[in-house]
Chain A
Amino acid sequence: MGIRFILMVNKQGQTRLAQYYEYLTIEERRALEGEIVRKCLARTEQQCSFVEHRNYKIVYRRYASLFFLVGVDNEENELAILEFIHLLVETMDRHFGNVCELDIMFHLEKAHFMLEEMVMNGCIVETSKSNILGPIQLLEKAS
């Protein structure tokens, strides 16, 4: 199980999406998110995108005002996770059209649906954008 959690955080440090693949209580999550956000958002553009925190390795990437942070274990390929974040953003872009913080906020459940099609139990399931978005488009047609 490589991926432990995925966070989307705006540049004020507010969580906009959180998905955990291991059980943490709500207090633990709040504390963890606070620590990670403080650590990662303080870093400069030149610093590398990997931060070690507790027993996680955080791989993060910034898109405009939104930070994507992925917590992985030590076995994971950091560069691949960076690429995965980009794939996630591209997929959301394709669906929302230039995704922004508000899209994710107001369509939280859709963002989750997409993520669910991409990651399951901490493993990547699918890397083709049309395969990922298929069920979601179906759902939109239905409603």
Chain B
Amino acid sequence: MNPFSSGTRLRDMIRSIRACKTAAEERAVVRKECAAIRAAISENDQDYRHRNLAKLMFIHMLGYPTHFGQMECLKSIASPGFPEKRIGYLGLMLLLDERQEVLMLVTNSIKQDLNHTNQYIVGLALCALGNICSAEMARDLAPEVERLLQFRDPNIRKKAALCTIRIIRKVPDLAENFINSAASLLKEKHHGVLLTGVQLCTDLCKISSEALEYFRKKCTEGVVKVLKDLANSPYAPEYDIAGITDPFLHIRLLKFLRVLGQGDVDTSDCMNDILAQVATKTESNKNAGNAILYECVATIMSIEDNGGLRVLAINILGRFLSNRDNNIRYVALNMLMRAITVDSQAVQRHRATILECVKLPIDSQDSDASIRKRALELVYLLVNESNVKPLTKELIDYLEVSEPEFRGDLTAKICSIVEKFSPEKIWYIDQMLKVLSEAGNYVKDDVWHALIVVITNASNLHGYAVRSLYRLVQTAGDQEILVRVAVWCIGEYGDMLVNNTGFLDMEEPITVTESDAVDVVETAIKRHSSDLTSRAMCLVALLKLSSRFPSCSVRINNIIVQYKGSLVLELQQRALEFGAIVDKHRNIRSTLVERMPVLDEATYSGRRAGSVPAVVSTSQGAPINLPNGVAKTTSAPLVDLLDLSSDDVPVPSSSGGDFLQDLLGVDLSPSSSQTDTNQAQKRGTDVLLDLLSIGTPPAQSNSSIPDMVSPSQDSKSAINVLEQLSSPSAPAGGVSTPPGSSSMMDLLDGFAPNPSKPENNGPAYPSIVAFESSTLKVTFNFSKQPGNQQTTIIEANFSNKTFDAYTDFIFQAAVPKFLQLHLDPASSNTLPASGNGSISQKLRITNSQHSKKSLVMRIRIGYKLNSKDMSEEGQINNFPHGL
């Protein structure tokens, strides 16, 4: 006997490991033990092999490497006695890593043991094979296992059945060899064999369609009978759990029925009665019974349609939901989530109960965050047009009392529901304002941006919105996002706030003075927790108010002045610029701070959806409301009122051109980088022209506009231009001013009537065949909007060259970044056959590089032909020049 390896007993080793205070101590003990075991292994010490293997298992469980013990396991397995084999097989299963050579070595031992006369040893070998067998072993040993499926002792048969599962998973080709013997297992009485036999059949069905067909035809009735006998069986003490005989077997059988019934009406019919019996008769006051009911519901929901059973199943889930046990609630919610795709009407009936699960109070003993989260998901799935109002009300009411950890999720879901299903704009605005005032800080940027877009589009609600916001800010002024929206609206519609314009009957009367309105903005800008975006928005609002409320002009100027020294460059710059406008340019100020043009909802939602900005598909397009308070129709997509968020990071070198764009809210497209001030200026000028729109188009033809500014003028800031523009007394075309800009000053100067020239719509452009395939033809007709040479209106006509009508017709287009594209809704989505009629659709395309680059467009057309999805794509390069 080796004096070193005999060492400690297992018990002592465990004690000394437990006595370790630190991980380092433990490592030291383990290292010492491992060294002793290695020594024993190399000595080929047989007396302590059992003990050493037991130690290794413990060490392995603690997470230390033990691969050196694998060969000891093999030796142990090869020894004749049952106890040695027992520990050897256990060690093999635990310590084995994926090294194939060990498996190869053990294959032969297992084969011998499978043929052993001692059935316990056969059982051991089967168990090991079932746990570790590889594809090679599976092929080698499959005949033995197949034979053992008919072994006289049921304890061997059950293990052979599970072993077979492993074999057919590793080598699916072998599956058909086992179909018959698996089917015979279903006739057994022994629960273990039945349990494993049913499992084997289920797995066979998943692997082989042949097996599935076979079991459907030959075994469905048998399985139904087994389940019936089991459900009606008298008390069986060995298998009884809470008054139910072998719930595990119940569940296995129900799972098997599910596999058989799925996708086969006849088989499903066969099992209706027994499923109904299990669903109604099973005791539901204990976990075991509920486990069966749960499985039964899963089966009912998966097999082929039977309305009555489904109602039964959903009602069981409803009962589960009102159970006090959170485990039961959890599974019910999980299952309802799946059921909603099958039968959403039935799930709707339990809406109230589900809602209760969302609202479980945190301090009650029933509370479980994961349950509430799940319930919320489910409520979200249940919302539709008809129930959105009551559900949203419930959720918003709950928002007031919910605890902070849950508010983020809840807010996001409410916002999403409100946006998706709002029946009318006023309701949408109301709900969003409620959310903002309760949990504004959890609201994501795109959500409140969308709110602003909706408000601008609801021209009859401008006054209502601004008054509601004003009221809310008084009570919930700490909600930053709410304040932002309020400040924006007060800036835009401050006059409506004071004059009570557009007063709705349901509103409470409110008296707000001009100085009250300025107070709100002032409080917001001075609140120390306001961030840059809010403050910048406040400055813009102040500028706008200074023009709308002349009486507060001085006060506003004083507030703006305070930010001229701001350390934040963005604020400082805005303050300086706005200050200059207020001080020096009174005559154009009111025009400059005109109300924002209406934002285009379609463009905005397209952008939010994450698509390329220029891609707009007809399906997302809500018809654009025409603006009311706005003097003119600018090309809406150009304008992004929410520019603040697109440049949250202050751009230190922001040039005059940028400023102009900021001020006017022109979308800063990435293309107008700093290096391209020329272009930026041009754009600025363009917008200036637009904004100050004299009503008539510029006299010059469009191509001359760049000439006015760009060639002679270098990248001097546009504010210069502005200043010059706004001092009409300055000698026109002052000495230093290049001739180009003087002509522009003429244009703006004092809004003098322009020498009227006949309108020039530019040349007429020829129509083109934009796209033609064997099935489809697309033609484009062009026209220009008077006064806006950058924008081209395209009328696209689609005609069908085949003899079958197309349905669900959808036209999509994408353009490079220098272009902006807007698609109006198409005239129809059905295209009649053989050119008997066509679909027409208007596209508005704005070329920011007008006269430099010509139009180009990629298109995709999708439609259904005989309910088959078709799609065609193409690129259009043959646009006429000069568009």
Contact = CB atoms under 8 A, between A and B. Distances in A.
Contacts of B130: 120-121
A89 interface: no
B127 A46 contact: no
A47 interface: yes
B290 A79 contact: yes
A127 B191 contact: yes
A15 B238 contact: no
Interface in A95-127: 105-106, 108-109, 112-113, 116, 120-121, 123-127
Interface stretch (B90-98, B416-424, B629-637, B693-701): B90-98
Interface in A69-95: 77-80, 82-84, 87
A24 B97 CA distance: 8
A125 B331 contact: no
B250 to A, nearest CB: 9
B468 interface: no
Given A113-B90, A121-B162, A108 B248 contact: no
A61 to B, nearest CB: 10
Given A48-B370, A105-B14, A138-B120, A17 B65 contact: no
Contacts of A16: 61
A50 B330 contact: yes
A83 B288 contact: yes
Interface residues on B, range: 35 or more
B449 interface: no
Contact of A113 (B86, B248, B287, B370): B86
A80 B326 contact: no
Contacts of B90: 109, 112-113, 116
Contact of B63 (A1, A29, A134, A143): A29
Contact of B191 (A29, A48, A128): A128
Nearest to A80: B291
B57 A112 contact: yes
Contact of A129 (B10, B94, B238, B327): B238
Interface in A30-60: 30, 33, 46-51
Q: Find the residue from A50, A83, A106, A112 having the highest chain B CB count within 10 A.
A: A83
Given A123-B199, A127-B246, A135 B370 contact: no
A108 B50 CA distance: 13
B577 interface: no
A106 B11 contact: yes
B49 interface: no
B247 interface: yes
B368 interface: yes
Interface string B136-169: 0000000000000000000100110011011001
Nearest to A7: B61
Q: Find the residue from A109, A112, A120, A131 having the highest chain B CB count within 10 A.
A: A120
Given A84-B248, A113-B90, A143-B83, A46 B11 contact: no
Given A47-B368, A120-B127, A120-B162, A127 B326 contact: no
A82 B57 contact: no
A123 B290 contact: no
B131 interface: yes
A125 B159 contact: yes
A142 interface: yes
A46 to B, nearest CB: 5
Interface string A1-29: 10000000000000111110101011001
A123 B287 contact: no
A134 B94 CA distance: 22
Contacts, number: 149
Contacts of B238: 128-131
B451 to A, nearest CB: 34
Nearest to B242: A83
B365 interface: yes
A139 interface: yes
Nearest to A82: B287
B70 interface: no
Contacts of A142: 82-83
Contact of B159 (A49, A105, A113, A120): A120
Nearest to B328: A79
Contacts of B312: none
B235 interface: no
A33 B61 CA distance: 11
Interface residues of A, number: 51
Contacts of A17: 61
B83 A139 contact: yes
A48 B288 contact: no
Given A47-B368, A77-B294, A83 B330 contact: no
Contacts of B247: 80, 83
Contacts of A106: 10-11, 14
Interface string B360-372: 0000011111110
Nearest to A15: B61
B131 A121 contact: yes
A76 to B, nearest CB: 10
Contacts of A50: 327, 330-331, 370
B166 to A, nearest CB: 5
A29 B93 CA distance: 15
B249 interface: yes
Contacts of B192: 125-128, 131
A121 B57 contact: no
B239 interface: yes
Contacts of B454: none
A77 B251 contact: yes
Contacts of B57: 108-109, 112
A139 B86 CA distance: 9
B72 interface: no
B64 interface: yes
Contacts of B506: none
Given A46-B365, A48-B330, A108 B58 contact: yes
A79 B61 contact: no
A107 to B, nearest CB: 9
Interface string B62-99: 11110000000000000000110011001001100110
A105 B14 CA distance: 8
B327 to A, nearest CB: 5
B340 interface: no
Q: Find the residue from A16, A21, A48, A108 having the highest chain B CB count within 10 A.
A: A48
B618 interface: no
A29 B288 CA distance: 31
Contacts of A49: 327
Interface string B318-354: 0000000011111100000000000000000000000
Contacts of A87: 241
A142 B131 CA distance: 26
B368 A46 contact: yes
Interface in B161-194: 162-163, 165-166, 169, 191-192
27 contacts: A1-B165, A1-B169, A15-B61, A15-B62, A21-B131, A30-B63, A48-B327, A50-B330, A50-B331, A77-B251, A77-B291, A78-B327, A78-B330, A78-B331, A83-B287, A109-B54, A112-B57, A113-B86, A120-B131, A126-B155, A126-B191, A126-B192, A127-B192, A128-B238, A135-B120, A135-B123, A139-B83
Given A48-B327, A80-B248, A124-B248, 17 more contacts: A23-B98, A30-B63, A50-B331, A79-B290, A79-B294, A83-B241, A105-B14, A112-B57, A112-B90, A120-B127, A120-B130, A121-B163, A125-B158, A125-B192, A126-B195, A127-B191, A127-B246
Interface of A: 1, 15-19, 21, 23, 25-26, 29-30, 33, 46-51, 77-80, 82-84, 87, 105-106, 108-109, 112-113, 116, 120-121, 123-131, 134-135, 138-139, 142-143
List the 4 shortest-distance A-B pairs measured between CB atoms, nearest first: A79-B291, A48-B326, A30-B63, A80-B291
Interface of B: 10-11, 14, 54, 57-58, 60-65, 82-83, 86-87, 90, 93-94, 97-98, 120, 123, 127, 130-131, 155, 158-159, 162-163, 165-166, 169, 191-192, 195-196, 199, 238-239, 241, 246-249, 251, 287-288, 290-291, 294-295, 298, 326-331, 365-371
